[in-house]
Structure formats: C-alpha cells, structure tokens
Amino acid sequence: MTAAVAVLQEARARSRRRVVLVGSVLAVATLLAFLATVSLGEYPIPPGDLLSSLVGAGPARVEFVVTRLRLPRALAGLAVGASLGLAGALFQRLLRNPLASPDIIGVGAGASAAAVVALTMLGLSGLAVSGAAVLGAAATATLIVVLARRGRGSTGLHGVRFVLIGVGVGSALLAIVSWLMTTASLTTAQQTLLWLTGSLNNVSWASTTPLLVSVAVLVPLALVAAGALPRLELGDEAAAALGLAVERSRLLLLAVAVLLVAAAVAVAGPVSFVALVSGPVAARLAGPGRASLPHAALIGALLVLLADLVARHLLGDVPLPVGVVTGVIGAPYLLLLLARSRAGGTA
C-alpha cells in the first residue's frame, strides 16, 4: 500500500518538475526573444545601452529608438502572442476539439469580416478598423452563443453543436470577406490582405497601451476561471455534483477567451496559427492538464516574437507581416512534434 502511494507521489512530483522546468525554459526563451526584438534592427543597440535606456538613463538617441519605436512593438508582440495562445488553448479545452481554435470556430472570422467591411466599404483605417474588429468578434461570439442555446437553462456551450454552429457562422463571414476582396480595387484588396495576415508593423503606444491593460486584466482572470476546467472535463453531471455552476463557469471562460482574441486582433489583425498551435504544443511539452495553460500563453508569445524578428529581417528593408512567418515557423514545428509524439500516443 505504502509502496503504491510512494510510486504515485514520485510520478506526481516528476510531472510537476517537468511542468516547472518546461515553464522556466519557455519564460527565459520568451525574455530573450523580447530583448532581441528591442535591441536588433536597423540601428542595433548594445545590451548595456539597452538596459540603461530602459531605466531612463541612456543616451537620448538610443532612448528614443528603444522607448518610442521598439518597446511598443515588442510589448505588443508579447501581449498578442500570449492572448492568442491562451485563448486558443482555452477554446480547445472548453470545446474538447483540437481544431476548435478561434480562427476556425468563427470568432476570428467575425473580427476579420467587420474589419474588412470597415476597410473596403467604409474606407476607414487605423484605430477605427481595430474598433470594428473588436465589435465584430464580440458580436459574432454572442450570435454563436445565442444560436447554440438549447433553451431552458442549458446553453449548449460545449460539444459538437456549438462548434458546428461556430464553423457555419465563420464560413459565411469568410465568404463575405472573399467576396469583398474580389469587388474591391487591387490596392484596397492588398491592404485588406495585409490586415488579414496580421502585422505588427504599424504598432505604436496608442494601440499597445489599451492592449497591455486588457491583457493585464484578462490573463489572470482566465487562469483563475480555468480552475473549473478539470471539473468541466469530467462531464456536466459530475461537475454539477462537485458543486460547480456548470453553465456559468463555461460562459465566463468563453467570454474571457473571446475578449483575449478581440484585444489581440484589434492591434495586430488575426495573426494566423498562434491560437491553434500553442495549446497542442504546450500539452506535448508540459503534459496535459491545467498546468499547461500558462505554457500555451508563453508559447504564443515566443512564437509571435520570434516570427516578428524573422519577418523584420528576412527580406532586408521590406518588413513582412508577422502573420506570414508564424505559420512558416509554427507549422513545421507542430508537424515535427506530431510525428515524434505518435510514439508516445499523447495525441
């Protein structure tokens, strides 16, 4: 008996050590990518100057480049990646479907459709487009929730029904996006494609500050609300028997995830693939379970920061949008993990 307990305790301790170890490695890597984003560029900044200008004691020129140009971009990359990574993992866990990332179940499509209408039909730009994207994401999520409702208390927020309705709504919205792309002039269509790819090229403090505030509120809220996930995953009856307000906690998690997506998309556009890839990668690195949610956020942040570094320098002077590179870096990595983890059967 005691031997069995000892074996279990040992296994638990080992998995806890793995979670902490993987988390620390990811955190350090993200920090390094962040510092590289701030210091590398057309005007390279040595680490010493970087640190002194971050605390406000550097040479004036260096301080301008760091605090006015590079810092907002690096912080936006960090926040966008973390939001998308965390939101994607939440969607996948909540809906129990590895494909249920916000870009596939319609929330991202809602943001895109609203932004593309603003760009092509209303001729808006800048922050107005961001506002449209947030409204679009929120309105689409509300529509999906209302349509998936079963009536009389049960919101039907889990499982196949919600996902299918989300995909249906998303497909219609994406078709509208495609149609608007064919009716717009080539120049407008190109701007639209750029926005739809996701880019950090036009980020400034004006857009980064609201994003940072939202993320500072939403990420802790998401991690606390995710405490209900292990019980939700036991099934509705069991979760209710354990004293969980099933529908309310599910709605809360969904709302937080949608708001995270909306905040990120407003600043950078629907950066592809980050939301889909972060959860599965985190689960494969840290082992499945609640502990992997912060890892998903870190992986999202790391992916966006690395992709932005590559995007800025790959073609010399022409900065690519970050959304092009997230897919190119992220996809082979996930494919490699899948090919390797088949042996472990974790998929």
Partner 1 sequence: MTATPTATSAPEAPATRRGSGVATTLLVAAVLLVAVVASLAIGPRALPPSVVLDALTAFDPTNPDHLVVTEVRLPRTVVGLLAGLALGPAGVLAQGLTRNPIAEPGILGLNTGAALAVVLAIGLLGIRSLTAYVWFGFLGAGLAAVIVAGVAGIGRSGTVSRGATSPATLALAGAALTAGLGSVTTAILLTDPDAFEDYRFWQVGSLAGRDLGIAGQAAPFVLAGLAVALLCGPTLNALALGDDVARSFGRRVERDRAVCGIALVVLAGSATAVAGPIAFVGLTVPHLVRVLTGPDHRRLLPVSALVAPTLLLVADVVGRVVASPREVQVGIVTAVLGAPVFIWFVRRKRFVR
Contact residues for partner 1, defined by CB under 8 A: 97-100, 104-105, 147-148, 160-161, 163-165, 167-169, 171-172, 174-176, 178-179, 181-182, 186, 189-190, 193-194, 197, 272-273, 276-277, 280, 318, 320-321, 323-328, 330-332, 334-335, 338-339, 342-343, 345, 347
Q: Shortest gap between Cβ of 216 and partner 1 (angstroms)?
A: 29
Q: Shortest gap between Cβ of 75 and partner 1 (angstroms)?
A: 24
Pick 41 or 168: Cβ nearer partner 1: 168
Pick 67 or 201: Cβ nearer partner 1: 201
Pick 66 or 173: Cβ nearer partner 1: 173
Q: Shortest gap between Cβ of 1 and partner 1 (angstroms)?
A: 29
Pick 58 or 88: Cβ nearer partner 1: 88
Q: Shortest gap between Cβ of 166 and partner 1 (angstroms)?
A: 8
What would the 3-class secondary structure string for the chain be? CHHHHHHHHHHHHHHHHHHHHHHHHHHHHHHHHHHHHHHCCCCCCCHHHHHHHHCCCCCHHHHHHHHHHHHHHHHHHHHHHHHHHHHHHHHHHHHCCCCCCCCCCCHHHHHHHHHHHHHHCCCCCCHHHHHHHHHHHHHHHHHHHHHHCCECCECCCCHHHHHHHHHHHHHHHHHHHHHHHHHCCHHHHHHHHHHHHCCCCCCCHHHHHHHHHHHHHHHHHHHHHHHHHHHHCCCHHHHHHCCCCHHHHHHHHHHHHHHHHHHHHHHHCCCCCHHHHHHHHHHHHHCCCCCHHHHHHHHHHHHHHHHHHHHHHCCCCCCCCHHHHHHHHHHHHHHHHHHHHCCCCCC
Pick 15 or 97: Cβ nearer partner 1: 97
Q: Shortest gap between Cβ of 91 and partner 1 (angstroms)?
A: 12
